[in-house]
């Protein structure tokens, strides 16, 4: 400031000096603002681009300040500027400031930062002294060495201070301090150096020598001010526009990463962070309710009405749930057909249950879409904090356990219970043991007879997996098959059973059929047909002797693929039976879409025969249906003579159940087949000899 005032007193044009000071302040502010975007350590091309922009703006500011202030300087004799040196001073300004800022950026907070500031100070001095060298005038220049030295010390010191503010900010506003010191670096460098100069006009003949450089006047000064001012402004505006576009894109990206695109609901990541925040501030006497929702029968909607139908249903359900949310409640889509809801301030467990029930009621109402009714069921699990956990992982794990229980028990809302943890641990343990059992050969295949009702002859066997546990004895499939199904191990077990059953059957004395159960996951395997054919080839079993039992669950998940696989197997001669008929919810339509070779009526309809008229009606109508469709029907779980008599009267052809025998191991089965074969052979021989005797007798 002092230097500026001194200069004004010493014959400077006040307007131009003020204009120079203004452009100096404005330019310094812009460059500092741009440089603020640079992350120290210079990461990537974006940072280099910011350094380049800030260097360009800073350099132009240094040069314009110097040039305009110089034009405003009246040494009392005519002056001109040598254009090449003047341009060189502009290049030095840009390269010097840019280079200095680059060093500050690269420093990562080390001593290189202040060195970069010194380089910026050097650039200011270079602009000034090279600029002075470009000055042509008819006068003798005298320099005050003390003031020259002061100008150097000030420029370098303030340059280092500027860099220090940039590289080691203490507050968010330190960049403003950096801008101020940068402006001071430029101003002090220039005006102190100007104070160091005295011009003595030359007398004699040299005084009138014409000057060939650029003659400075106010018009030139204004022109330079205008051009450079506009340049700085345009640079800054484009920087701001770029910034706001970048910020907008970042906001959009952030929103997208926290939102589900289909329903517009928050996604799982958003829910987790919300739950985390809630858990960290949960107060005494308050509860946080977490509800996990699983839609039931969503897949068939997708299969029947296509993905558009499925999407429309999900959107409608999401809208419905959102509409009933209170201020402390939220719902997110956590997966395909899964949702999680939160209630921040539940008064007690009843309040939490009421919240879950409200959601359930909204989910099970049908949705009208393009003139059709889409409807799903829903099973909800509920867990509350702090009672059931105080961290996100635990709560989400436990609410899922409750939801699985709701699904298995077909209940609308189930609250988490610590016993579920125990059951889940036991399941995980069993899954591990089962894998080991498969490797150690602890699995066996047993066979249960299937008989013709009229003759009571054996017509085939159903292969049933058994696990001979070293400590627990024989483990029934009702215990381990569901575990194998949830862990995916069923695929390996299924292949093993298939090979074992085919191998046994191929060795039977009589070519009876063997039925093998197929789990839904097996049928969903792309190479399932090859697996079956492989088992037939290795065992040498006739394809027509193998019957695969599938349930409706196999057809629900991916109906088209399952049907394609079954059709391929049928073409190869393998028979396909529908197991547990009557327990699904769309048995009739399933029968219509695929030509099964057999229907197995589930044992739950056979057991009550004689006491339950409804069960009898269902069995009778299934038999009529089978007859009409030309599909033979087998009754499962036949235990008594009375049940068998009923079935016989209703013209059922085949039966399986304890009445004919419990599942037997492979050796016993082979022996039973052998017995029947021997009996048939004996009967045949008797028949032959009777026929021969009859022939001879004639």
Residues of this chain that bind Mg ion (CB under 5 A): 517, 549, 579-580, 636
Question: Which phi and psi (to 5°) does residue 135 adopt?
Answer: -80, 125
Which lies closer to ligand C2E via its Cβ, residue 313 or residue 633? Answer: 633
- Of 96-104, 276-284, 470-478, 665-673, the segment contacting ligand C2E by CB under 6 A is 470-478
609's tokens: 């025969």
Q: Is 579 in the site for ligand C2E (CB under 6 A)?
A: yes
CA dihedral in degrees (253, 255, 260, 261; nearest 10)? -60
Bond into 7 cis (ω within 30): no
Question: CA-CA distance, 154 to 438, in Å (whole number)?
Answer: 84
Give min distance, CB of 601 to Mg ion, in A.
Answer: 9
We find the least distance from the C-beta atom of residue 579 to Mg ion, in angstroms, to be 4
Q: What is the DSSP string of 188-226?
A: HHHHHHHHTEEEEE--SGGGGPPP-SBPP-HHHHHHHHH
- DSSP letter assigned to residue 283: P
Select the residue interacting with ligand C2E from 295, 353, 663, 666 (CB under 6 A).
Answer: 663
Sole binder of ligand C2E in the list 465, 578, 601, 609 (CB under 6 A)? 465
Number of residues that bind ligand C2E (CB under 6 A): 24
Minimum gap (Å) between residue 400 Cβ and ligand C2E: 25
- Footprint (CB under 6 A) of ligand C2E, residues 471-530: 476-478, 481, 490, 494, 497, 517, 519
- Give the residue with the Cβ less far from Mg ion, 353 or 443: 443
Contacting range for ligand C2E; rule: CB under 6 A; set: 15-23, 169-177, 538-546, 652-660: 652-660
The rounded distance, in Å, linking the Cα atoms of 445 and 636 is 19
Contact 24, 183 (CB under 8 A): yes
**Which residues are CB-contacts of 363 (< 8 A; sequence separation ≥ 6)?**
293, 295, 317, 320, 321, 376, 378
State which of residues 264, 372, 423, 658 lies at the interface with ligand C2E (CB under 6 A). 658
Q: What would the x/- binding string for ligand C2E be over residues 589 to 628, using CB under 6 A?
A: --------------x-------------------------
> Does residue 352 contact residue 384 with C-beta atoms inside 8 Å?
yes
Q: How far apart are CA 294 and CA 379, in angstroms?
A: 5
Secondary structure (DSSP) of 479-501: HHHHHHHHHTTHHHHHHHHHHHH
Stretch that binds ligand C2E, among 195-203, 209-217, 292-300, 635-643 (CB under 6 A): 635-643
Tell me the closest approach of the beta carbon of residue 477 to ligand C2E, in angstroms.
Answer: 4
Report how many helices (DSSP H) and strands (DSSP E) the chain contains, helices first.
24, 20
What are the beta bridge partners of residue 367?
374
Rg (Cα) of the chain, in Å, rounded?
45
In the bound complex, what is the minimum distance in angstroms from residue 481's beta carbon to ligand C2E? 5
Q: From the list ligand C2E, Mg ion, none, which binds 478 (C-beta under 5 to 8 Å, kind-based)? A: ligand C2E
Residue closer to Mg ion, measured from CB, 437 or 548: 548
Smallest distance from ligand C2E to CB 663, Å: 5
Q: Using CB under 6 A as the criterion, what x/- string covers residues 142-171 for binding ligand C2E?
A: ------------------------------
Q: Binds 13, which of ligand C2E, Mg ion, none (CB < 5 to 8 A, cut-off by type)?
A: none
With 0-12 / 13-18 / 19 or more C-beta atoms within 10 angstroms meaning exposed / middle / buried, residue 546 is buried
Q: Which tokens is 112 given?
A: 């290189």
Q: Does residue number 666 form part of the binding site for ligand C2E (CB under 6 A)?
A: no
Interacting partner of 657 out of ligand C2E, Mg ion, none (Cβ under 5 to 8 A depending on kind):
ligand C2E
- In eight-state DSSP terms, residue 544 is G
**Residues 533-552: x/- map of binding to ligand C2E (CB under 6 A)?**
----------------x---
Q: Is 359 in the site for ligand C2E (CB under 6 A)?
A: no
Q: How far apart are CA 410 and CA 556, in angstroms?
A: 17
Q: Which residue is nearest to ligand C2E (CB)?
A: 657
Q: To the nearest whole angstrom, how small is the minimum distance from the Cβ of residue 464 to ligand C2E?
A: 4
CB neighbourhood size of 77 (10 A): 15
Catalytic residues: 636
Do residues 328 and 412 make contact, with C-beta atoms less than 8 angstroms apart? no
Q: Which does 420 bind (CB under 5 to 8 A by kind): ligand C2E, Mg ion, none?
A: none
Question: Which residues make beta-bridge pairs with 316?
Answer: none
Contact 571, 599 (CB under 8 A): no
Q: Are 634 and 654 in contact (CB under 8 A)?
A: yes
Site for ligand C2E in 212-241 (CB under 6 A): none
Binding to ligand C2E in span 406-435, by CB under 6 A: none
Interface residue list for ligand C2E (CB under 6 A): 448, 464-465, 476-478, 481, 490, 494, 497, 517, 519, 549, 579-580, 603, 636-639, 656-658, 663
């Amino acid at each position: 400031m002092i230097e500026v005032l001194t200069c004004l007193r010493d014959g400077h044009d006040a307007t131009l000096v003020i204009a120079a000071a203004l452009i100096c302040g404005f330019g310094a502010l812009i460059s500092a603002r741009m440089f603020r975007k640079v992350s120290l350590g210079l990461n990537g091309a974006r940072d280099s681009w910011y350094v380049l922009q800030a260097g360009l703006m800073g350099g132009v500011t240094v040069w314009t300040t110097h040039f305009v202030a110089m034009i405003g300087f009246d040494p009392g004799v005519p002056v001109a500027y040598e254009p090449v040196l003047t341009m060189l001073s502009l290049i030095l300004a840009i390269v010097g400031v840019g280079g200095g800022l680059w060093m500050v950026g690269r420093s990562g907070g080390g001593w290189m930062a202040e060195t970069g500031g010194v380089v910026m100070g050097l650039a200011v001095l270079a602009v000034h002294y090279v600029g002075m060298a470009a000055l042509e005038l008819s006068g003798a220049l005298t320099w005050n060495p003390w003031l020259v030295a002061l100008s150097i010390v000030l420029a370098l010191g303030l340059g280092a201070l500027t860099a220090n503010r940039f590289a080691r900010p203490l507050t968010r506003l330190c960049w403003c301090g950096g801008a101020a010191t940068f402006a001071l670096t430029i101003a002090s460098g220039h005006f102190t150096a100007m104070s160091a100069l005295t011009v003595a006009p030359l007398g004699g003949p040299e005084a009138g020598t014409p000057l060939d450089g650029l003659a400075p006047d106010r018009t030139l000064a204004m022109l330079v001010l205008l051009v450079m001012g506009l340049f700085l402004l345009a640079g800054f505006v484009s920087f701001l526009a770029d910034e706001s576009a970048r910020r907008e894109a970042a906001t959009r990206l952030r929103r997208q990463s926290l939102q589900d695109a289909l329903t517009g609901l928050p996604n799982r990541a958003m829910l987790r962070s919300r739950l985390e925040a809630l858990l960290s501030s949960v107060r005494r006497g308050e509860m946080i309710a977490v509800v996990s929702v699983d839609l039931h029968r969503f897949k068939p909607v997708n299969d029947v009405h296509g993905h558009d139908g499925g999407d429309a249903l999900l959107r409608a359900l999401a809208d419905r749930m959102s509409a009933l949310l209170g201020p402390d409640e939220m719902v997110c889509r956590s997966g395909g057909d899964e949702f999680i809801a939160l209630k921040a301030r539940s008064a007690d467990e009843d309040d939490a249950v009421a919240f879950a029930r409200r959601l359930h009621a909204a989910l099970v109402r049908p949705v009208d879409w393009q003139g059709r009714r889409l409807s799903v069921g829903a099973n909800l699990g509920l867990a509350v904090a702090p009672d059931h956990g105080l961290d996100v992982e635990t709560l989400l794990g436990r609410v899922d356990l409750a939801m699985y229980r709701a699904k298995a028990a077909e209940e609308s809302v189930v609250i988490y219970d610590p016993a579920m943890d125990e059951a889940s641990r036991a399941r995980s343990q069993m899954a591990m043991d089962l894998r080991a059992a498969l490797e150690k050969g602890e699995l066996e295949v047993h066979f249960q007879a299937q008989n013709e009702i009229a003759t009571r002859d054996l017509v085939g066997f159903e292969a049933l997996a058994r696990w001979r546990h070293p400590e627990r004895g024989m483990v029934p499939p009702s215990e381990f098959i569901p575990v194998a199904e949830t862990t995916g191990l069923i695929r390996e077990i299924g292949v093993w059973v298939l090979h074992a059953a085919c191998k046994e059957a191929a060795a039977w004395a009589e070519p009876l059929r063997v039925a093998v159960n197929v789990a839904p996951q097996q049928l969903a395997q792309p190479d399932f047909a090859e697996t079956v054919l492989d088992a037939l080839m290795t065992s040498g079993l006739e394809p027509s002797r193998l019957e695969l039992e599938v349930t409706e669950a196999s057809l629900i998940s991916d109906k088209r693929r399952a049907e394609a696989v079954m059709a391929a197997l049928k073409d190869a001669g393998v028979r396909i039976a529908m197991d547990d008929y009557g327990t699904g919810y769309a048995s009739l339509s399933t029968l219509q879409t695929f030509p099964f070779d057999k229907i197995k009526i589930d044992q739950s309809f056979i057991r009550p025969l004689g006491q339950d008229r409804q069960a009898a009606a269902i069995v009778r109508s299934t038999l009529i249906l089978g007859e009409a469709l030309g599909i033979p029907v087998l009754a499962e779980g036949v235990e008594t003579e009375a049940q068998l008599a009923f079935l016989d009267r209703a013209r059922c052809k085949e039966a399986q159940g304890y009445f004919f025998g419990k599942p037997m191991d492979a050796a016993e089965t082979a022996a039973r087949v052998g017995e029947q074969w021997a009996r048939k052979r004996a009967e045949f021989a008797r028949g032959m000899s009777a026929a021969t005797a009859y022939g001879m007798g004639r």
